[in-house]
Chains A and B, each alone.
Chain A
Amino acid sequence: MELIQLIIGGIASGCVYGLVALGFVLIYKATEGVNFAQGDMMMLGAFVALGLVNSEYWALPFIPGVILAAAIMGGVGYGVDRFVVRQIFGQPQFALVILTIAMGFVFRFAAGAIWGFTPLVLETPFAGRSLQFAGIIIGFEDLVTIIVTAFLTLGLWVFFQYTRIGLAAQAASQNQMAAYIVGVPVRRINSTIWALSGVVSTIAGVLYASKGAIDPNIGLLGIKAFAAAVIGGFGSLPGALLGGILIGVVEPVAARYLPSGFSQMSPYIIMLAVLVTRPNGLFAQIYAKKV
């Protein structure tokens, strides 16, 4: 019973890791670059939502406020690619790494300057409520997290599988040159993917904030999400989500049954174990080009 309780809570927090990992993978697949500011984009998204929703700021109703926050962060993502990342196109990979790390710091201190560094609580309509059956207590925020993640994943799948832009984004990530020559505006698609990644991380941020207080340093969760993406096989969307859920579940279980310290180490131990045994991750797409 206790284990089931831990697992359900773990899945819910794993969903947040998974969504941030999804943001990493979206950008990696489209542009072959890693956005190390992903965690900070999640943090910024959570704060933008807080700024719009909380009663001491704009006091918008919850759902429209979150949608507006997601739209704003989509714009931020698009802008970052359009005006910053595109300028260093053709530079070594390392330039993008440093650039996004620096951008993460900028986000962090911008959020600190606006909302302060003391923890704040996002006002949600489902705070403090819970369901109870068969001796298991499920917090509303956990339930909402799992349901929202499921729908978001379904939505992304439909987007990539059935829409024109989604198919073009898949094509551009699989073979950029071929995408150019069939007429896909690759650079605009890349910016769209950055926007999408901003939206996904905002939703992750709101879900994270629904569980407790947030401060500008929660962006460091991005490192854990990065480990989740690596476990799933960087480049696989379902892999990123499942990697996140795996970490989310292992953490509380390790905290309960293993000596202290293991819980914090567990994501990285799993990552190392996966890298040693299956270097391409658990769900890698493997394809060798025929010549």
Chain B
Amino acid sequence: MNIEFRNINKSFGPVRANIDLNFSIKSGTIYGILGENGAGKSTLMKILSGFYKPDSGQILLNGKPVIIESPADAIKYGIGMLHQDPLDFPPMRIIENFIVGQKGGLIPSYKETIHEFKELQTKFGFTLDPEAYVDTLTVGERQQLEILRLLWMGANALILDEPTTGISAQQKEKLFAALRILAEQGKTIIFVSHKLEDVEILCGKVAILRKGILVGELPAPYQTDKLVEMMFGKVITLGDRNNVSQSNIVFELKNIFVEQYPMRIENVNFRLQAGEVIGLAGMEGSGQDVLLRACVGLIRPISGSVIVIGKDLTGKNYHEFMKNGVSFLPASRLEEGLVPGLTLAEHFTIAGEETKGLFIDKEYFKQKAEKMIDEYHIIGHQSSTVESLSGGNQQRAALSLLRNSLSIILLEHPTRGLDIESAIYMWGKLKERCMLGTSIFFISGDLEEILQYSDRILVFFSGHVSPPLDAVTTSLDQLGQLIGGKGWDQVFDIQENYESNAKS
């Protein structure tokens, strides 16, 4: 199916998400849409898949203008979208997920559908068990299910939104192979990503968006520098890596065994030095979030001990860790980070370390909030509620609320959903703290971020944790293989050396 965008415009309040977008996509191709977070990629794709109506402009399918009213309407036109968070039903079985939404009689025929499902999946080399429950699948497998489902529903064009986040290297290869088969069959594949390497190896042509504008289209082969320049509008220099770690140990895990059904992580030993940055790499759900939460007392380890600055805090709850200078910034900012409905000033009142009497000195905290808003360049007012701030500003606010003297900050996906400037700012602020001796322990799905900012890296693969790797001597490729479960033999070698070094 040929798809053409003509003068697409879309605004959300004062924000112009898509500005006069014009380009077309030929059938039988894999077409990349590249841009950083907030560039307008998702908005455009949601227009194409029927979630949004454009303010103005037209979409033409095979030369005919169409109006797409809803996602269900889009699939009637043959357009299917694979969302970043798979839109499936975790407590239901694969085959039930497959059937929901399919037209047909009152009682679906499971036998027949299972047969068709198996036939379809062998074409792509997928090996899903139709009777399995979706909540036991990895993100990659859930993607496979969605692709099969969309094809079965009659999709001629597939939109994939950031599909390589959180899946393993093998799953990525499988996915790319499947997409190539589909393109050969004449289907149109739209691949939305901010990852240059994926776009470079997969896409025949790429459109680059920046701040809602189409910067340009390029055919393969690509020059990486050119892509980067078009994406960011300038050459971005990331902060230098500067290892400021000191020799004293601030945090130690001894023989930790954590379990969060069905995930088990066993036998983790690890020491964190003051001022050090440790990145936790792995595909989503490999156990890194479980271990991080065990490190701050949100999950109780089954055995082993957690030691913060020489103090054994095993089995204590998060507040005890807080008292000992540990702070945790979770990924879901408005669910676990900030309190929606409360203003910035109220947040500073709650989080402040000042000795508090019975009554609130409202004037004092207003001024404090204004000062911090200034210092952290938060776009907002002391009386703004936190949910009215943009994602980047929420993250800045969360950062500004951290206490001054902390020994460890643990973060989940610190820059997820932030534009590049906010992300760089965020790390600048974190590094300032490292200089003062604070250690950082963070999870990220972005391997480049991990390599860029960590001193050492822990790799996770389905509950296994590698010994720490030196970030300087680890390559992106190697890291990619490790999170996919490849090349662990070498790492285990390292571990033996590590242990024998520790003994001697």
Our verdict on whether A and B bind, yes or no, reads no
> Which A residues are closer than 8 A to B by beta carbons?
none
> Which B residues are closer than 8 A to A by beta carbons?
none
